[in-house]
A and B are shown apart, each in its own frame.
Chain A
Amino acid sequence: MPGGAARSLTPGVLRLLHGVGRLAAKLRRELGHSLKKRIWGLAPFILLVLAFELLPLLLVVVNGFRNSEGTGFSLAQYQIALTNPYYLQSIGNSLLISLLSSVFGLAVAMVGSYSLTRIAPRIRDFVLMYSGMTANFAGVPLAFAFIIMLGQNGYINIILRHLDLHWLEGFNIYTWKGLVLIYTYFQIPLGILVLYPAFAGIRREWMECASTLGASGAQFWIHIGVPVLSRSILGTFSLLFANAMGAYATAMALTAGNYNLLPIRIGDLISGYMFLNPYLASALSVLLGAVLVCAVVANDLLARQQRGVSHERG
């Protein structure tokens, strides 16, 4: 037996065998487990997500390119959506109400978030918790609560009438002004919840430094505060805007679908009493989705431009 050669070969062979063994074990672990056992753990999830999220959304995109009989490939639905004054108006109204309510909601949330950083922590925590609770007060109950408040016999109207004040004479809750007011209501707590952490990051020392160097409060906010927070503010704005664009329940409950908004039109085309056209509903859905994507992308681009002046937050 040529022992010497064997002995010199052994470590190499052993190492090779060991390597092969490790690789096989790794392969078995990766493939064997992940493809056999692990796929069973993932299967229900994949199945449900396909059935109730991905396939339906894919179908929305596909159906938007059908003719009104639901066959072939056609741009007819987009042509209707983008030329018919009725649908154009719904898009315009949705954009207007979302824009206004996001601007108002954001403004209040910014002032509120800043004030929250300047009051006692116990009260602040309570207000934040309370904001979290009211953020859930939306949709049908909210529209209804505003009707009680500001409808024809709303209690605020009654109180003002008793006080002989005529502030709300020209205000009608069932119009676009009412919608902007209610949308602003549900934007405020959401805005505060998202913005407060950013405002909490503004150090009191920065303001003190700025004022030591002679800057006024307004100067501090214009040159330091707002630029530092710009990413958070823009991000919050696009979140609020998207939130308002997709809102359906509040408007439906307030105006019974009489005010022309994009989500209401989409809902009517698949479940209304007048006439149904799921293909047009799909095209309008894609347009609504496109607006939301644009809001996110625009916000992302703006944020990237601002990156030079804004600080990184984890």
Chain B
Amino acid sequence: MREGNVRHYLVVAAIVLFLLLPLIGTLLYALATNWQTTILPESYSLSWFIKLFADPRFLPSLCRSCLVSGITILVNLAVMIPAIFIVHVYLPRWDRLLQAVITIPFAIPGVILAVGLISIYSKGPVAIAGTIWILIGAYFVVILPFMYWAIKNSLNAINAVVLMEAAETMGAPAWKAFLMVILPNILKGVTHAAMISFSILLGEFVIANILAGGSYETVQVFLYGRMKESGHLSSAIVVVYYLLIFIVSAVLILLGGYLNKRPET
């Protein structure tokens, strides 16, 4: 190891430490019974978690977040896979337009989207503000860029155009080739995008707070409300939902690995 390397390790260690501090603090705070004047908490317990799960508003809000994220991701997959597939294989000239439409949510902050959505859906024929439906619609748009690139890259990776030509040459109808050949092969790439989307949506606050607020309280809005009351309880909320993201990610990674292996067996 060269002497210059020590400096680089120190730089990386300092950055990692800075990024780690708030996470450690949150975890310790959730586990500390009391932490007012001492350097480290006086004692540890799970009492804040027990209190949290006894809160009648916590689990429903967490379930709402999971429900709205889950439905959004499934709807997004069901809509986007065929759409991107059709454009990719049959209408490649339209791909640029599709890309432009998909990139907009990436560039536009959530608060601007919320301004537009609330002026359409707060009154009039489709007054769905304050319900799960407006969140599903808005979140569908929020995760578009991640889903698009995952699906698009998967289609490129498996050479979908050639696969479809081969399948059709052998007499398979297009829908059958899509279901039997294309779909199973892109699911792995898609599970990764679903994982990213889930963690983004579980952490989404702007749209949830403005469009649904208290009438369809997600875990972020619940956390925002609890923040002023108890630091320990809020820390416990954060720890629980990051644990949930971690578990869901692990399950999806395992599922992705399983989907990847299946064709070989």
Which of A's residues lie within 8 Å of B, judged by CB?
Answer: 33-34, 38, 41-42, 44-45, 48-49, 51-60, 63, 108, 111-112, 114-116, 118-119, 123-124, 127, 130-131, 134, 136-142, 144-149, 153, 155-156, 158-159, 162, 185, 188-189, 192, 242, 245-249, 252-253, 256, 263, 266-267, 270-271, 278, 281-282, 285, 288-289, 292, 296
Could you tell me if A140 and B22 are in contact, using CB atoms closer than 8 angstroms?
no
Apart from A49-B141, A249-B205, 7 more pairs, CB < 8 Å: A111-B11, A112-B11, A119-B8, A134-B23, A162-B39, A270-B114, A288-B111
Give the CA-CA distance A178 to B19 in the complex, in Å: 16
Could you tell me if A148 and B25 are in contact, using CB atoms closer than 8 angstroms?
yes
B193 an interface residue at 8 Å Cβ cutoff? Answer: no
Q: Which residues of B contact A147 (CB under 8 A)?
A: 227, 231
* Interface residues as binary, B109-152 with A (CB distance below 8 Å gives 1, 0 otherwise): 11111111111100000000000000001101100100000000
Which of B's residues lie within 8 Å of A, judged by CB?
Answer: 4-5, 7-9, 11-12, 15-16, 18-19, 21-23, 25-26, 28-29, 35-39, 78-80, 82-83, 85-87, 90-91, 101, 104-105, 107-120, 137-138, 140-141, 144, 199-200, 203, 205-206, 209-210, 213, 220, 223-224, 227-228, 231, 234-235, 238, 242, 245
Could you tell me if B19 and A189 are in contact, using CB atoms closer than 8 angstroms?
yes
Q: Which residues of B contact A49 (CB under 8 A)?
A: 101, 141, 144
Most buried by B among A33, A63, A112, A145: A145
Provided the pairs A53-B105, A115-B8 are in contact, do residues A145 and B26 lie with their beta carbons within 8 angstroms? Answer: yes
Give the CA-CA distance A145 to B137 in the complex, in Å: 30
Give the CA-CA distance A42 to B90 in the complex, in Å: 12
Query: Nearest residue in A to B116 (C-beta to C-beta)?
Result: A56
Query: Nearest residue in A to B199 (C-beta to C-beta)?
Result: A136
Label chain B's interface by main secondary structure. helix
Kindly provide the distance from the CB of B116 to the nearest chain A CB, expressed in whole angstroms: 3
Give the CA-CA distance A80 to B237 in the complex, in Å: 41
Could you tell me if A45 and B79 are in contact, using CB atoms closer than 8 angstroms?
yes
Could you tell me if A34 and B90 are in contact, using CB atoms closer than 8 angstroms?
yes
Could you tell me if B22 and A158 are in contact, using CB atoms closer than 8 angstroms?
no
Give the CA-CA distance A288 to B111 in the complex, in Å: 10
Q: Which residues of B contact A130 (CB under 8 A)?
A: 16, 19
Could you tell me if A289 and B112 are in contact, using CB atoms closer than 8 angstroms?
yes
Give the CA-CA distance A33 to B137 in the complex, in Å: 29
